[in-house]
Amino acid sequence: MNDTEAVCVLGAGTMGRGIAHACAVGGHRVRLRDVNGDVLAEAAKAVRRTLDGGVERGKLSRDEADAAFERLETTTDLATAAADADVAIEAVPEDIDLKRDVLAEVESHLSRDALVGSNTSSLPLTSVAAALDRPGRAVGLHFFNPVHAMDLVEVVLAEQTTDTTRERAESLVEGLGKTAVTVADSPGFATSRLGAIQGVEAIRMLQEGVAGPRDVDAGMELGYRHPMGPIELTDVVGLDVRLDILEHLREELGERFAPPPLLRRKVRAGKLGRKTGEGFYVWEDGEIAGVSGSDDPAAEGEGR
Ligand SMILES: NC(=O)c1ccc[n+]([C@@H]2O[C@H](COP(=O)([O-])OP(=O)(O)OC[C@H]3O[C@@H](n4cnc5c(N)ncnc54)[C@H](O)[C@@H]3O)[C@@H](O)[C@H]2O)c1
């Protein structure tokens, strides 16, 4: 990978805009594509805000931030987004049929050698890759949220992924100043599987009244030095996103991943976490303002 390569990012939601930001800061020309023009406008503003935040925190100079922003283009047109791209990375919703369709469609616009990355956090990459005419170019590039602040990218190898693709993917990740952890395609890969099992057990503990959200979280933060407890993390990731991941892991790996009824109730009520202002916690301006009241008598827990 060199600095002048072109990256096409498909989907401009939470992750797509973050990946676009990271690639632009990493020196790549980026075309960000979404089916929704309003989402694209919001994504461009979000990238600008993140760049400005980076300048304020001394992470990059004003000139570097401006240059990175100039390297970013947005479009709703797939052919424009994919034209001359060396790398295409999809960050569309976690739906296998959608991902297969999106990647097969983008492949028809790509050169023979372009790399095709998927940001899926739990779907079988081998099935995603099978939608391509040249599946050996497919690789999982599992970025973490928020992308600009997270140093890890899981590089996931589909059955079909070639050694050349693997090397290119690892070098792309390193060029972005992040650390690549390479894992075989298996349900939930390494990180989502472990993260999901801890999150699901934490929600079961709330259900059983073992402790409230604050105490469960403090236990892992102070006792295990996790930067964020599993309940708060579920709110940040999104309860709907977590539910989808659990449904999938349950199907693939068994009942230990079965989503707890409490999680389903919250999702049905539209309490999806930080993004809707309430999940297990109540959120104001992106910060925890209290504990959601409807859980159980132990909701607030003791001691904090
Ligand atoms: N949110 C997270 O914390 C997180 C972390 C790691 C990985 N992921 C994975 O990243 C992917 C995206 O998640 P997200 O949270 O950014 O979702 P999101 O809902 O915020 O964004 C998805 C975007 O894709 C767009 N889209 C839908 N169909 C499209 C198409 N055909 N072409 C282009 N754009 C299209 C939607 O308009 C939306 O803006 C999922 O696979 C998810 O599992 C999410």
- How large is the ipTM? 0.98
What is 6-184's CATH topology? Rossmann fold (3.40.50)
Residue to mutate, 8, 19, 35, ligand 1, most ligand atoms under 8 Å from C-beta: 35
Q: What is the DSSP string of 234-299?
A: HHHH-HHHHHHHHHHHHHHH-GGGPPPHHHHHHHHTT--BGGGTBSSEEEETTEEEEE-TTS-TTT
Residue type, 120: T
Q: Residue 99, annotated ligand binder?
A: yes
Residue among 212, 5, 197, 40 at smallest CA distance from 117? 5
Q: Atom 28, ligand 1: which residue's CA is nearest?
A: 92
pTM above 0.90, yes or no: no
Overall CATH class of domain 190-291: mainly alpha
pLDDT exceeds cutoff 50 at 304: no
Percent of the chain with pLDDT over 90: 89
Separation CA 269–CA 291 (nearest Å):
16
Residue 276's pLDDT band (boundaries 50, 70, 90)?
very high
Q: Atom 7, ligand 1: which residue's CA is nearest?
A: 121
Tokens standing for 199? Answer: 């999150």
Residue 122's pLDDT band (boundaries 50, 70, 90)?
confident
Which residues have C-beta within 8 Å of that of residue 49, sequence separation ≥ 6?
Answer: none
Give residue 138's Cα distance to chain centre.
Answer: 18
Tokens standing for 26? Answer: 């990493």
6-184 and 190-291 share one fold: no
Q: Determine if ligand 1 sits within 6 Å of the CB of residue 11.
A: yes
Tokens standing for 38? Answer: 């309003």
Return phi, psi of residue 189, to 5°.
50, -140
Q: Residue 13, annotated ligand binder?
A: yes
pLDDT exceeds cutoff 80 at 207: yes
CA of 99 to the centre of ligand 1 (A): 10
Q: Residue 240, annotated ligand binder?
A: no
Outline where the chain has alpha helix (H). 14-25, 37-56, 62-70, 78-82, 96-107, 125-129, 163-175, 191-207, 213-224, 230-237, 239-253, 261-268
Q: Determine if ligand 1 sits within 6 Å of the CB of residue 121.
A: yes
**Per-domain residue ranges of the chain:** 6-184, 190-291
Q: What does the pLDDT look like over 185-205, one tens digit per residue?
A: 999 899 989 999 999 999 999
